[in-house]
Chain A
């Protein structure tokens, strides 16, 4: 195998990391919205915390993106 095609295969494998990020974010947001639905008074504090948590979860996909461009 020549190095150029190996690079493309490695890039395609790295993109698979994003497959897990989307369900994780979805379940997180769902849990946050359920909590808000049960207790609407908490909306202000819960919403900002949920956004920070989403940013944390998203970082896995971001690592994959950085690796995608460095390979």
Chain B
């Protein structure tokens, strides 16, 4: 009897599964969810044309409320009026994209039930390490681009290899020169920290979504009635929080990289 209430399945793998191939190009089950994301955003784009100032509909009010919360948070983090003009549009788009792709398999009903050749057809878009690495790498790269734009190429390179600062400090006095050498080593360490940022940012988002889905699977194999619901609510919460955390870390990174 109790076996009827269990849903044992294959344990979730780190890599997304391959559904089929077009030529030599494999179609993975995160890509099918990406198509769903596009459909949602195209729907949002088309419906935004009907948004009006007078008599806003319910949908418009909901969208504007979410956008106001996100932009308010990012403005709070950046703090500076001039910087936030550059940063807020990018990071708001990023956060909204992550929010939708974290939640879309939870909020669209029955979506996780479809299978194709006994492989689940839809898997959360951010539950693939490639997605999160691509996002975080492009955001750290954007920070470098902003830094070059605001300071120039040479000053940006001297931020990591502090040859100029050491020479200037030795002209003043020997003691300041020795201190500048220590700072130069710290500057070299910054190169490592840029790569560490990419890894930590991407692993955090991927790991949280992965852990949520894994826990749901484990509880499904114990008892499928009622027991997974609190875990699902927790995973919804962590999906929302992680998208905000990703956005706020990227915003603080970008605001540091733009000099005044």
Interface residues of A (CB under 8 A from B): 51-52, 55-56, 58-59, 62-63, 65-66, 69-70
Contact across chains for B245 and A66 when beta carbons are under 8 A apart = no
Complex interface: chain A residues within 8 A of B248 (CB):
52
Contact across chains for B14 and A69 when beta carbons are under 8 A apart = yes
Interface residues of B (CB under 8 A from A): 14, 200, 203-204, 206-208, 210-211, 214, 238, 241-242, 244-245, 248
Q: A55-B208, A62-B203, A65-B211 are in contact. List 15 more A-B contacts (CB 8 A).
A: A51-B241, A55-B241, A59-B203, A59-B204, A62-B207, A62-B208, A62-B211, A63-B200, A63-B203, A63-B204, A66-B207, A66-B210, A69-B14, A69-B210, A70-B14
Cα-based distance from A69 to B210 in the complex (angstroms): 10
Cα-based distance from A63 to B204 in the complex (angstroms): 7
Contact across chains for B241 and A63 when beta carbons are under 8 A apart = no
13 example contacts (A-B, Cβ-Cβ < 8 A) are as follows A52-B248, A55-B245, A56-B245, A59-B207, A62-B208, A63-B200, A63-B207, A65-B207, A65-B210, A66-B14, A66-B206, A69-B210, A69-B214
Complex interface: chain B residues within 8 A of A65 (CB):
207, 210-211
Complex interface: chain A residues within 8 A of B211 (CB):
62, 65
Cα-based distance from A62 to B207 in the complex (angstroms): 5
Contact across chains for A52 and B14 when beta carbons are under 8 A apart = no
